[in-house]
Amino acid sequence: MNEPTSVPTVLTIAGSDPSGGAGIQADLKAFVTTGAYGAAVITALTAQNTIEVTGTMPVPAEFVRQQLGSVLSDIRIDVIKLGMLTSRKICEAIAPLIENHTVVCDPVMISTTGFQLIDEDTADALINAILPLADYITPNRFELEKLYGDRIDDAKHAGIELMERFPNLTGIVVKGGHVNITQSTVTDVLLYRQKGLIKEAIENRPRYDSPNTHGTGCTFASAFASYLAQKNSPKAAFKKAVDYTNHLIKISAEIRIGQGRGPLIHHKGI
């Protein structure tokens, strides 16, 4: 009898978006369309659509821990992707269970418009309990400043200092989608460790004028986690995730889902 075929498996720990554009819904779509099996642990329920968020119901920390323990006790997980963690208690509950896994943390703290999404106590727990266990982080510019602890003029310099402060980090993706929005190109940078040195990989891509960008950050981080689970190098996983996300932004530009800022349409392959 032949041995069962193993498939790359990624677990997301994040909030639920009932409109399907962000959170675990976007994560699971990104996993499957990039070639991985996806599992999910829910940290919060939200009431939202393409126009607004009208409510949030955090899941009790002990039940988040129970969900996570249940999955890990049964399924081999290659990479864990972290999205919105809604309380200090949740951060502290999951920390002991994720420390022996490859972790991609999308530190959901501040929106790309600068709006604070979690309270200071939760942000402190994310920085002090979760970040030391992460292998990769994918902050936006505002989140990078929050992690760095000050306003920054040079994102690359701030990223290098963070990697020196957190020696557990293998890589930081400095996303450029919301920087210099009048420019026709977007520059994303991966800082990564290789043989004791911090190196960089740069990807430039066209900036598409699209109203449909809801869930882009979730999608990118999930694609990056998926490609890492498929044994790509950090540099290769980064390039593939940038190409995948950029492709989705392009093909979603003319599609109408809802009446507000629409989601990406997760089609398989590019």
Take residue 93 and report the two structure tokens written for it: 């509950």
- Alpha helices of the chain — where are they, by DSSP H? 23-34, 61-72, 88-98, 120-125, 141-148, 155-165, 216-229, 234-252
10-residue mean pLDDT profile of the chain (270 residues): values are: 80 96 97 97 94 90 98 98 96 97 93 74 96 96 88 87 95 76 78 93 90 92 98 97 95 92 82
Predicted pLDDT of residue 44: 95
What strands, in cross-sheet order, belong to the sheet with 9-16?
Answer: 53-58, 37-48, 9-16, 79-82, 102-105, 136-137, 171-174, 185-194, 197-206
Predicted pLDDT of residue 5: 73
Q: Which residues are CB-neighbours of 20 under 8 A, at least 6 positions away? A: 26, 263
Active-site residue flag, 213: yes
Q: Which residue out of 46, 213, 219, 245 is catalytically annotated? A: 213
Active-site residue flag, 170: no
Q: Which residue out of 102, 216, 219, 245 is catalytically annotated? A: 216
Q: Which residue out of 218, 219, 240, 262 is catalytically annotated? A: 218
Active-site residue flag, 217: yes
Q: Which residue out of 175, 219, 239, 262 is catalytically annotated? A: 175
Q: Which residue out of 15, 83, 217, 262 is catalytically annotated? A: 217
| Residue 47 backbone zone (phi > 0: left; psi -120 to 50: alpha; other: beta) | beta
Q: β-strand 136-137 against 102-105: which pairing, if any?
A: parallel
Predicted pLDDT of residue 133: 97
Q: Which residue out of 23, 83, 171, 215 is catalytically annotated? A: 215
- Domains of the chain in sequence order: 9-252 (3.40.1190.20)
Active-site residue flag, 12: no
Take residue 39 and report the two structure tokens written for it: 């599992």
Active-site residue flag, 216: yes
